[in-house]
Amino acid sequence: MKHLIQLLMLAAFSFLTLSGQAQNAPALADAKPVAPPARTGGAVAPPDVAQTVPVPAAPLVAPAPALVAEPAAPPAGTNTTAEPAPPPAGTNAAPVSPAAEIVPLIVIDDVPLLDAVKNLARQAALNFQFDPRVIAMTNQPNVTIRFENVTSEDALSAVLDNYGLALAQDVRTKIYKITIKDPKAKEPLVSRVIQLKYAAPSNIVQIVKSTLSLDSQVLPDSRTSQMVVMTTEKELIGLELLVEKLDTPTKQVLIEAQLWETSKNPQTMKGIDWSGTLESQRISFGNGTTTGEETITSPGASSTVTLPGGRTVTTTRPSSATRNLITDIGSGGLGLNTAMGMHPATAFLNSDGLHAVLSFLNKDSDTELVATPRAVTLDNQLANLNVSRAYPVYKITPGSANSPAGSEITWTNVGVILQVTPRISANSNIALHVIPEVSDIAAIDRQVINGQTYTANIYGIRKVETHVMIPSGATLVMGGLLNDRSFKGFTKVPVLGDLPGVGLLFRKEEKKRDKNNLMIFVTPTIIEDGDFQSNKGSGFLKAAFKPENSEKPWGPWDSGKPKDWTVPPYNPDGPKAGDFKGAGTH
Residue 68: pLDDT band with limits 50, 70, 90: very low
Quote the pLDDT of residue 435. 92
- For residue 463, is pLDDT > 90? no
Please state, for a pLDDT cut of 90, what percent of the chain lies above it.
Answer: 11
pLDDT at residue 21 tops 50: no
- pLDDT in the model for residue 92: 54
The pLDDT score that the predictor gives to residue 388 is 86
User: 274 pLDDT band (50/70/90 cuts)?
Assistant: confident
Report helix, strand or coil for 500: coil
Q: Which of 283, 314, 287, 282 is nearest to 301 (CA)?
A: 314
CATH of span 189-248: 3.30.1370.120
Dihedral of the alpha carbons of 10, 16, 17, 23, in degrees to the nearest 10: 170
| Segment 216-221 long-range contacts (CB within 8 Å, at least 24 positions apart) | 216/189
Residue 586 pLDDT class (50, 70, 90 cuts):
very low
Q: How confident is the model at residue 70 (pLDDT cuts 50, 70, 90)?
A: very low
- The per-residue pLDDT for 258 is 86
Mean pLDDT of the chain: 73
Mean pLDDT of 523-546: 65
pLDDT digits (tens, 9 = 90+) for 418-437: 899 999 988 889 999 999 88
Q: Across 183-192, 235-244, 348-357, which has the greatest mean pLDDT?
A: 235-244
Percent of the chain topping pLDDT 70:
61
Strands (E), 425-475: 429-449, 452-463, 466-471
Q: What is the mean pLDDT of residues 375-386?
A: 90
Range of weakest confidence among 2-6, 213-217, 439-443: 2-6
As a whole number, mean pLDDT of residues 443-466 equals 86
Bridge partners of 521, per DSSP, are 258, 477
The tens digit of pLDDT for each residue in 72-122 reads 444 444 444 444 455 555 445 556 677 678 888 989 898 999 899 998 999
Residue-level pLDDT at 22: 45
Confidence tier at 544 by pLDDT (50, 70, 90) = low
CB atoms within 10 A of CB 491: 18
Predicted confidence at residue 37, as pLDDT, reads 42
221, 228 in Cβ contact below 8 A? yes
Helices (H) and strands (E) in the chain, counts: 8, 28
Q: What pLDDT band is residue 234 in, cutting at 50, 70 and 90? A: confident
DSSP 8-state class, residue 100:
G
Higher pLDDT, 273 or 52: 273
Which residue ranges does the chain devote to CATH 3.55.50.30? 23-180
Q: What's the pLDDT band for 25 if we cut at 50, 70, 90?
A: very low
Residue count of the chain, please give it.
Answer: 586
Q: What is the mean pLDDT of residues 288-312?
A: 61
The secondary structure element, H or E, covering residue 233 is helix 233-246
Q: Are 141 and 113 in contact (CB under 8 A)?
A: yes
Residue limits of CATH 3.30.1370.120 in the chain: 189-248
At residue 196, the pLDDT reads 92
Q: What pLDDT is stored for residue 318 in this prediction?
A: 62
* Residues contacting residue 563 through CB under 8 Å, at least 6 positions apart: 556, 582, 583
Amino acid 281: pLDDT: 58
**Tens-digit pLDDT profile for residues 190-214:** 888 999 998 888 888 989 988 888 8
Between 77-81, 493-497, 518-522, 568-572, the lowest mean confidence (pLDDT) is in 77-81
Q: Residue 381 — very low, low, confident or very high, per pLDDT cuts 50/70/90?
A: very high
Mean pLDDT of 39-66: 38
- Mean pLDDT calculated for residue range 239-253: 89
* Confidence band, pLDDT 50/70/90 cuts, at residue 329: very low
Query: Which runs of E-coded beta strand occur in 247-288?
Result: 252-264, 267-273, 283-286
The residue that leads in pLDDT, 356 or 173, is 173
Going by pLDDT thresholds of 50, 70 and 90, the confidence category of residue 233 is confident
pLDDT tens-digit map of 39-48:
443 333 333 4
pLDDT attached to residue 133: 87
pLDDT of residue 469: 93
* pLDDT for residue 253 is more than 60: yes
Domain 23-180: top CATH class? alpha beta
Round to the nearest angstrom and report the end-to-end CA distance of the chain: 125
